[in-house]
Amino acid sequence: MFGDLVAVDHVSFEVEGGEVFGFLGPNGAGKTTTLRMIYGVLQPTKGDVIVNGVSVREDPERVKKYLGIMPEDAGLYARLTAEENLLYFGKLRGMQETELRRVIPEILERLGLMEKRYVLADKLSKGMKRKLAFARAILHNPEILLLDEPTSGVDVMSAREIRTMISEYASEGGTVVLSTHNMWEVQQLCHRVGIINRGRLVYVGSVEELERLTGEKEFEEIFVRLIKGEVAE
């Protein structure tokens, strides 16, 4: 709660290993608040978040070891270069410098950031900052990825590479919670979705089931109808 405002109301869902779970909703619906509670930036007024059997309330530091986080705000260190941001974060996550020196160039190359490795983060474009934030999230090969609009503002080729990396990550057993407004991306990537509106979940299940319920194939249309209350399970 924020004062008298209940931002997230009795939201409950599970995400399995090897799954990309789309967490969707209009602006202000409670998506980012929910993600912040999962990674411990905000404490729920009631209830708890359990990650790999560990309570975020009781042991938030242990939970963070499981997570790779790409927040809505990139949260980069403006006066460090792209490479220095990744080195610093990797060391915070307990990675050895020899490993970081091997992994960082591979990730930067794949995301088209090698030419910008020595550029201050503050001088990068919005799209490049988003790519660097994604690189930071996957750097330590976490078990769970929490991604808030990972392809927003990113060029077409890089967005495609990010989507490929997300799919590969899940296919290797990783867990992904993906918040996005890109409905085509949802259809391409997500095994299941949770749709939140005004702080409450209005649907949790597969995209295919929503298509069956609505008779629609375009997920944007399905999403709009669900938010308007035109779909009954």
pLDDT of residue 3: 47
Burial class (CB in 10 A: 0-12, 13-18, 19+), 172: exposed
The tokens of 96 are what? 């050895």
- Can you name the CATH fold of 20-74+142-227? Rossmann fold (3.40.50)
pLDDT of residue 202: 87
pLDDT of residue 1: 43
Where the chain has pLDDT below 50, the residues are 1-3, 5
pLDDT in tens, 117-174: 999 999 999 999 999 999 999 999 999 999 999 998 899 999 999 999 999 999 999 9
Q: Which residue, 74, 36, 81, is CA-closest to 153?
A: 74
Provide the mean pLDDT of the chain: 89
Q: Which residue, 138, 214, 150, is CA-closest to 178?
A: 150
CA atoms within 13 A on the CB side of 184: 4
CB atoms under 10 Å from CB of 52, counted, come to 13
pLDDT of residue 221: 85
